[in-house]
Amino acid sequence: MKNALKLVDVVLDFEGAFGYSDFDCEEVLSLLSSLKEVETLAISGWLLEWLCSAGVIFGRLEFQLQKLKQLRWIDSLMDNAKRDSLACFLNICPILETLFITIDPSRRKVTCPYFHQHWHEPHLWMDFPTVKSNVSLLKHLTLVDFLGFTINEEDGLLSSLVDLLLEKTIVLKSMTVKSHENISWGVMKVSNKLPTHKWWNYRRWTANSLPRNFCFALIDR
């Protein structure tokens, strides 16, 4: 992309742009490489899923988004593959400060194709503890917002993402969850000595984060 180094704010939304036979992993990676100077990036979750399904391991690439301070991830839904591909992508965002993870059901659901060749190696089959262990520390991340989550349906995915980000951040100041009904909760660490029940418990939301020495809770705002 010409003059890409002059870009600061970029939106990569290719919804409807690719057919299964049109997707070229090398071209997409070349595009991402040209954006390594951007400071704000919005990207579709399915695009990261397709790249990781094609065997891309972002931490092995020869470039990083070295100036990226704000990342907006958006998709029609969250599932294990999208969660794990986002976790993988964070490895090329070394100075990320703010992260927005948005579920927008109005967006078209994009089904991932089967890839016969792989860039590095397949890895979306890994269990989540292994995925989490492969994520680098997010040394500059201070704010995380989860937007549009349907609490009762995506509780396990949300809790795993919260756990990942609490473990990998050092200077995190704020983490918020906002439902489709525009109800907000703040996320905070709580002592693991406090009684914990299921992840979602009426009015007082609590979750274990074992084997860490803390739990986390959603607190009404």
140 CB neighbour count, 10 Å cutoff: 16
Mean pLDDT per 10-residue segment, the chain (221 residues):
67 69 82 93 95 93 95 95 96 97 91 76 86 94 92 69 91 89 78 46 41 58 62
Q: Which pLDDT score, from 0 to 100, does residue 86 have? A: 97
Q: Which pLDDT score, from 0 to 100, does residue 56 have? A: 94
Q: Which pLDDT score, from 0 to 100, does residue 34 have? A: 92
Residue whose C-alpha is closest to residue 20's, from 50, 56, 45: 50
Q: Which helix (H) or strand (E) holds 84?
A: helix 80-89
Total-model pTM: 0.84
The helix/strand/coil state of 82 is: helix
Q: Which pLDDT score, from 0 to 100, does residue 108 have? A: 86
Q: Which pLDDT score, from 0 to 100, does residue 213 have? A: 47
Q: Which helix (H) or strand (E) holds 215?
A: strand 214-220
The helix/strand/coil state of 104 is: coil
Q: Which pLDDT score, from 0 to 100, does residue 208 have? A: 43
Q: Which pLDDT score, from 0 to 100, does residue 185 have? A: 82
* Domain assignments of the chain as residue spans, ordered by start: 4-12+23-220
Q: Which pLDDT score, from 0 to 100, does residue 120 have? A: 80
